[in-house]
């Protein structure tokens, strides 16, 4: 599925505007034959992805380990199992999703019938990111194929082992006349973005999201932007302490070392309860990762020296370094930073201004738990918002008053893998959504079709508008 080239030498040639143009033209021609529209084609491609995930499990886990030192079980569960589950759902439901939806018609159209037909959009572009480089590439591809589109995937250059594996695997397993991978960084992505697509799904930072949207606007191409932000977790004092601590740890450090778009970015809790929560987090962290946290093999490393330097800078800021209550150790050679908890960081510190996307967890304290609302509301809308409480009124108020892409009460992160729920941001955390049926819908056009007969044709519809007609 890489760009069709004759030799290795040619493969290394720059992917420029002309190549991008030729690629899209070729895929559009193939799409126009109608082959990707058939149920059978879609199923064959989805089955091929399942086969690929089963046969190449080891290679995939190895690549994720090379790129991120991702623990093998974590890689298997969060990337392979999730991608397979998306395929399984699409394989089970596709017939049902593709079926035109009948709707009743109004008297003004009588006699008639109507339906909503889901048709593929055409040739779509998926630009992916490095933190879950397999899942976040395959999941949108699964959606695009389910909806009957031709698709180009541009994986992230920051996870090169997975990017190259994806290019090779999709080339061998999928129909190259309609599914391609283009590897590369900014120049290649820019060349792709200059083309006319029928939809673009971009996963990554808001900064690049703006570039993608501006490029898409030139062609009136709709976009889905899967961005990030600072996801808060509000922790009330009446919780099951052990469950809460474990779930926060699982949603922060045991999830790619915090390099996850919906990982807990910061905690808000009450002044009185904060020390109890910190103690519980320390205890459970030690249970999970051992006494020497930075040495644990059960935690991914930081993806690159650039990201490592960014995180170290957040920690070394004057007003932050003396707020460390756990961790702070780092190992530049191994690109590792220990799980680090900061207590009572000033809101204007960088670590509270930008998305952390790493193993640092600031805790903000308030007098009353309800004070957390205004802190969250004063910031851009997050991709996920978490609340840990047994207070039913607080749950109700949180759902009611806090706007976020998704929300999870009494746990973290797992809503992303819950069948039936859409995944996407709001405001600065993104636009549009996908997963399951929502992917199918996002990559389809909902075409309204009205069927009339020749049974009757009331004259009131047509001029001349005589007084008799006006009096009816």
Contact (CB, 8 A) for 230 and 356 = yes
Evaluate the CA torsion angle 115, 121, 122, 127 in order and state its sign: negative
Interatomic CA distance for residues 214 and 90, integer angstroms: 32
93 is catalytic: no
Q: Which of 247, 266, 227, 229 is nearest to 408 (CA)?
A: 247
Catalytic residue selected from 226, 284, 355, 428: 226
**Cβ closest to ligand NAD, residue 15 vs residue 289:** 15
Rounded Cα–Cα distance for residues 444 and 118 (Å): 6
Question: Which one, 184 or 324, has the nearer CB to ligand NAD?
Answer: 184
Closest distance of CB 91 from ligand NAD, Å: 23
- C-alpha dist (Å) from residue 407 to 254, 270, 387, 391, 396: 20, 21, 8, 16, 12
Min dist. Cβ of residue 313 to ligand NAD (A): 16
Within 158-204, where are the H helices?
Answer: 160-173, 186-193
Which CB atom, from 21 or from 273, has the smaller least distance to ligand NAD?
21
Distance of alpha carbon 100 from alpha carbon 110, whole angstroms: 20
| Cα angle 426-430-432, degrees, rounded to a multiple of 5 | 85
**Residue among 136 and 326 whose Cβ is closer to ligand NAD:** 136
CB of 29 to ligand NAD, least distance (A): 26
Cβ of residue 306: shortest distance to ligand NAD, in angstroms? 9
Output the smallest distance, CB 369 to ligand NAD, in A: 26
- Nearest CB to ligand NAD, comparing residues 43 and 211: 211
Task: Please indicate whether residue 226 is annotated as part of the active site.
Answer: yes
Per the CB < 8 A criterion, the answer to whether 86 and 443 are in contact is: no
Phi (first) and psi of residue 159, to 5 degrees: -120, 75
Shortest Cβ 383–ligand NAD spacing (Å): 6
**What does the binding site for ligand NAD look like in residue numbers (CB under 6 A)?**
127-131, 136, 154, 156-158, 185-186, 189-190, 203-205, 208, 211, 226-228, 261, 355, 357, 383, 425, 430
Cβ closer to ligand NAD: 362 or 430?
A: 430
Catalytic residue among 183, 261, 284, 428: 261
Nearest-CB residue to ligand NAD? 228
d(C-alpha 147, C-alpha 439), whole Å: 8
Q: Are 93 and 437 in contact (CB under 8 A)?
A: yes
Angle ∠(198,201,206) on CA atoms, nearest 5: 130
Catalytic residues: 226, 261
């Amino acid at each position: 599925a890489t760009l069709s080239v004759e030799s290795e030498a040619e493969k290394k040639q720059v992917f420029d505007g002309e190549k991008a143009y030729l690629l899209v033209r070729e895929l559009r021609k193939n799409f126009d034959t109608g082959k990707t529209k058939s149920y059978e084609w879609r199923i064959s491609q989805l089955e091929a992805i399942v086969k690929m995930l089963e046969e190449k499990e080891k290679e995939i886990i190895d690549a994720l380990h090379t790129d991120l030192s991702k623990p093998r079980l974590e890689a298997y569960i969060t990337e392979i199992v999730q991608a397979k589950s998306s395929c399984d759902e699409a394989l089970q439901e596709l017939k049902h999703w593709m079926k035109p939806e009948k709707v009743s018609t109004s008297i003004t159209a009588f006699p008639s019938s109507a339906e909503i037909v889901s048709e593929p959009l055409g040739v779509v572009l998926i630009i992916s990111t490095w933190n879950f480089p397999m899942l976040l590439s395959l999941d949108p591809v699964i959606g695009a194929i389910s909806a009957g589109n031709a698709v180009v995937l541009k994986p992230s250059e920051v996870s090169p082992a997975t990017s190259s594996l994806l290019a090779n695997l999709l080339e061998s397993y999928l129909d190259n006349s309609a599914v391609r991978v283009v590897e590369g960084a900014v120049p290649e992505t820019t060349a792709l973005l200059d083309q006319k697509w029928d939809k673009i799904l971009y996963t990554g930072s808001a900064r690049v999201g703006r570039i993608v949207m501006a490029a898409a606007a030139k062609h009136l191409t709709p976009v889905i932007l899967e961005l990030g932000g600072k996801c808060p977790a509000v922790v009330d004092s009446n919780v099951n302490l052990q469950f809460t601590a474990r779930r926060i740890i699982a949603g922060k450090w045991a999830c790619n070392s915090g390099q996850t778009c919906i990982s807990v970015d910061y905690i808000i809790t009450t002044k009185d309860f904060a020390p109890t929560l910190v103690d519980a987090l320390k205890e459970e962290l030690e249970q999970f990762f051992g006494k020497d946290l930075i040495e644990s093999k059960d935690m991914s490393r930081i993806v690159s020296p650039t990201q490592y330097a960014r995180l170290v800078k957040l920690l070394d800021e004057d007003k932050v370094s003396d707020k460390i209550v756990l961790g702070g150790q780092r190992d530049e050679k191994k690109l590792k930073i220990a799980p680090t908890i900061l207590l009572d960081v000033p809101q204007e510190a960088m670590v509270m201004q930008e998305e952390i996307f790493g193993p640092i967890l600031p805790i903000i304290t308030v007098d009353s738990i309800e004070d957390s609302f205004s802190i969250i509301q004063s910031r851009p809308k997050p991709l996920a918002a978490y609340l840990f409480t047994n207070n039913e009124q607080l749950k109700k108020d949180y759902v009611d008053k806090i706007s976020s892409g998704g929300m999870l009460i009494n746990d973290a992160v797992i809503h992303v893998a819950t069948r039936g729920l859409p995944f996407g941001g709001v405001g600065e955390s993104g636009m549009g959504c996908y997963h399951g049926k929502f992917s199918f819908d996002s990559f389809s056009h909902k075409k309204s079709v009205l069927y009339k007969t020749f049974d009757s044709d009331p004259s009131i519809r047509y001029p001349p508008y005589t007084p008799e007609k006006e009096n009816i």
